Every structure is written in structure tokens, then in C-alpha cells.
Structure 1
Amino acid sequence: GEVIDYPERRHCCGFGFRQYFIKANRGYTFSSVKKKLDSMQPYSPDLIVTNCPGCNVFLDKGQYVISEQEGIVYDENGYGIPVLSSEELAGLVLGFDPWDIGLQVHQVSVEPLLDKMGVEYEPEKKYMGKENIPLGRPLQPTVLKTI
């Protein structure tokens, strides 16, 4: 893979305590997420790798919010840009099952990335936990494509 030094790479995603957890500041969080994603878009990244749990959540869920509010999707195919923590990416590279490491709870579908990486997965097990107990599905977006 190639790391892209996009203009807002070092910009905060807006997760910081004062931004998100104080209701009056939540708009700052999503404007920061949008600024980062807008800055990445011209580079057509295959994925976003984060080392901050806040970035992982907000860059993933933020794409859902932006797509629903503004109709913007940040990839050419309509799925959005998958967001993985460095631990999730390491798990995939080491051969862990994507559903065992929780990739099904991401808002942006990870299947296009898994296919591109050559990672095998069983689509029918995406929302099944251990002992085939259904996990439930996250809220399905109307603008972002899902698999």
C-alpha cells in the first residue's frame, strides 16, 4: 500500500471531548470529518487506516451522516471509503475472519476492500455471532450502497 499525504492528514477528526461530547459543539465534529474526507477524495483512497478510536468511529459513521444529509459519497462506486483501525488491518493481513474481528459493524461496507485485498469471507455469516446467534444489523443508509 501507499500512504497518501493528503492536505488534512494531520487535522483532528473532531472526536475530541470538547467537540463531540458537548452537544453544542457536535457540528464541529461533522464539519471536521467532512473537511478531512473532502481533502482525501481527489486521491481515491482504497481505505483509511486510523490509530485513534475516535477517528475510526467518526470517519466511518461520518460518511453515513454526510451521505444522508448532503447526498455525498466519497468513492466512485457509491460504497464510501472503508475505515479500519491499524489492529483491524493487521488482523486481516494475519488471516483472521473479517466478521470475527467485527468489520460488520462498520457503517461503510468493507466487502469491496476485502475483495480487492483477496480476503476470503462468507457473506451469509456477516451478521451471525458465535453459535450462529444473529447479531442484528446496523442502520442501513439510503444513499451509501451496502452489501
Structure 2
Amino acid sequence: MKRVWLGVGVVLAGLVLAAWASDFLTMQDERTIFTVRCIGGEWAGERCTGKLAAAPRYRFRALKPHGEVVFWIVGGSEPSGKLSNCVIQDGRNWRCEPSADASRSITLEMAQGTPVAGMPGTLGFHRIPKWRWYLLRQGF
């Protein structure tokens, strides 16, 4: 019987780890985007000709009652920014109009938890999965 419970515990731990690594589990109405930069090379589409390095993590929190999305760089010293005039379905689906803080953000729209790239007036970015970001941060 001990082996059965140990097996169940291992399977549950694996599922929790997979949910964490895929960013399936997040705070309500909040989304973190893990970005990467290319060192010693340049981007050729989605491919880096140099070495990848972990870049800032951008966190977005949708405030549906206010029609706003607040964003900040996790662990950064810059103050948070605010996107206004937003249509918010939930924390994974929202769209905002360009505003003064848009130039500090990587997107003005989140669709199914994925930031929409190439929005006018926003910063360019390359997104990677959470687990890969943590490996790069550790030097792998």
C-alpha cells in the first residue's frame, strides 16, 4: 500500500510541476511574460544567432472594474505602468488603447494568455516558456 501512495504522490508532484512550468497556474487576472534577449548575435525571425540570455519578466494585472491593466517588470526598480481604456474579458484576454505608458509595455493585447507582438508604440520582445527562462537564468 505504501508503494501505491508513493506512486500517487509522485504523479501529483509531477502534475503540479508541469502546471507551474507551463504557467497554467497563475494569480487570478494576472499574467507573467518571460522574455529573452540575444547576446553576441541578432534575431533572425524567432532564432538568435548568438547566445540566449534571460531578459526581464513583465507582469500584467487586469483590473476589470476599472478597465485598466497595470504592468511592471518583476524585480525591477522602475515604477509600474498603466494601460487604460481596456476591454477586459479576464486576465488572459484583454485589449487596451495606446496610452502614455504604452511605450514601456511589450503589448497592448493579451489573447488566451499570450501577448500579441508588434503592437504600435510598444517594446519588441521574444517570449519563452517559464521553465526555459529559469534554466537560462541559472546559466544553462
Pair in the same fold by TM > 0.5:
no
TM-score (normalised: structure 1): 0.25
Bigger radius of gyration: 2
TM-score (norm 2): 0.25
More strand by share: 2
